Amino acid sequence: MSFMIRNPILKGFNPDPSICRVGDDYYIATSTFEWFPGVQIHHSKDLKNWKLIARPLNRVSQLDMKGIPDSCGVWAPCLSYSEGTFYLVYTNVKSFDGVWKDTPNYLVTTKDITGDWSEPIYMTSRGFDGSLFHDDDGRKWFMSMLLDHRNGKFFGGIELQEYSASKKKLIGEAHYLTPGTELGRTEGPHLYKKDGYYYIVLAEGGTEYEHAMTVGRSKSIYGPYEFHPDNPFVSAAEDKNNTLQKSGHGDLVQTREGDWYVVFLVGRPLTPHGKCTLGRETAIEEFVWKDDWPYLKSGSRVPRPEIPSPRLPEQPNGEPVVRTHFDQDQIPMVFQSLRVPITKDWCNLDVRKGFLRLYGKESLNSLHHQSLLGRRIQSFNVQVSTSLEFHPKNIHHMAGLVFYYNAGHYHYACITSNPEGTRKFLCIISSDNFKMSFQEELEDVTSSTRVVLRGDMHRDRLQFYFSLDNKEFKKIGSSLDASILSDDHVRNGRSRYRPAFTGSFVGICCQDLAMNIHHADFEWFVYKEIE
């Protein structure tokens, strides 16, 4: 019965957690930004072992992201449950550059969390980080932060409006609840009711090293809200050496046994207040109630790398899959695409049995249609490899293995050709803030039908290798700076798009910059975490 929970519980780019319990089952929804399908939902029965079970926004009618800037798309989903129905609120951010932000919020529902979700119901575009609260009188309330474009203000506080499930729209007037605390940059609201109080939980201080969760309460849903005498409720800002940093933006849940837990995002920097190449992840802490206020049970507000188990039996998920053979009927759920659905016109398992065929589309700089299939990097030390057959005909044909953050930041080991198509060779293309560098014609592989590409990422260093027999591997090019694949690097540079909220991915891709039809065949993909 006794075990320890190791933080983070959801590793590698799983931010903005929203948690709900249905009986003995716990579900967490997290943000996916420009990656498709939208929203990750993990399931657990013990709050320690979590399994990815669904990505509910899997149709363009629910999530149209073609052309959106990096780090836009799905922000801060809110997952809730009431009377047999799951509700999911999400923002599909369309633009974020400049004074105005385009942030439409939607609601989808389902009876089966792993089944099909409804077509979206439009809520509002007044802000982002929408959430839904089900009151005990049967009424439902939508909350979000309020955008204010005047004089550089941006964060305008939190507002509330009633939602009618029968009419499938917001009704009545919007009510302004609170501007938040002195920490500022108030967002990520969630509402709860306990012992006669309405509790509002907020994300404040920005999503970097001053990030925090704060709490207010009121006897009326409309306020006024008084704030916790010892805010912030959760924050690592006071301890720069803590393993878990950037802690904030979270949600509360009560177990069937009556214990209370809070989940929240964290970042694990390579150095104190340094770069977080794994992106923003999800952690958990237990809390208790004192004088009708929540306090972390540890007596601190700083999250811990490890916490004692809840009063629940441990239920492990088994060993993670290391090798993916592309001889199956479906793409494994661990993989996602950029902005557009995974469809057979560009990603096909049928045309050549035992292989995944990628038809080359646009460049790695594209915000529209890339042929890229990627998965999260969830450990500081990974070894990733893939076997491919590719026969480029000109310099516009490329295919290979990519370590990717966004359209302006990646390292790409690829097979390409000379202009005449008479030779094929290995090349490394790197992009840092859209500044391209090339290590060209590193190895001639003209006579080789099949090539294995491998990337070893050890914290802030990345080295590519290749093999013709999957036994003997030889280095390709020089060691690369893997720390450019982080929010911190992108945000601190002069990036074309200011938002930087995701994390590092690794995947396979193919480009045909001439005709968008030339293909590459991938036999398998191996992702191995190294202690």
Summarize pLDDT for 320-338 with one digit per residue, the tens.
999 999 999 999 999 999 9
Q: What is the pTM of this model?
A: 0.97
Residues 6+ positions from 343 with CB-CB distance below 8 Å:
none
- Tokens at 448, concatenated: 């080789």
- The confidence band for 1, taking pLDDT boundaries of 50, 70 and 90, is low
β-strand partners of 202: 214
Summarize pLDDT for 70-84 with one digit per residue, the tens.
999 999 999 999 999
Please name the helix (run of DSSP H) or strand (run of DSSP E) that holds residue 215, with its range, or none: strand 212-218
- Tokens at 434, concatenated: 């859209």
Domains within the chain, CATH numbers bracketed: 4-308 (2.115.10.20), 323-529 (2.60.120.200)
Just list the catalytic residues. Answer: 16, 187
Summarize pLDDT for 104-125 with one digit per residue, the tens.
999 999 999 999 999 999 999 9
Residue 503 and residue 488 in contact, taking contact as beta carbons nearer than 8 Å: no
Say if residue 224 is preceded by a cis peptide, omega within 30 of 0.
Answer: yes
- The confidence band for 498, taking pLDDT boundaries of 50, 70 and 90, is low
Summarize pLDDT for 189-198 with one digit per residue, the tens.
999 999 999 9
Handedness of CA 17, 53, 402, 272 (dihedral sign): positive
Residue closest to 387 by CA, chosen among 479, 320, 465: 465
pLDDT value for 497: 46
**CB-based burial label for 516 (10 Å; 0-12, 13-18, 19+):** middle
Give me the amino acid identity at 513: L
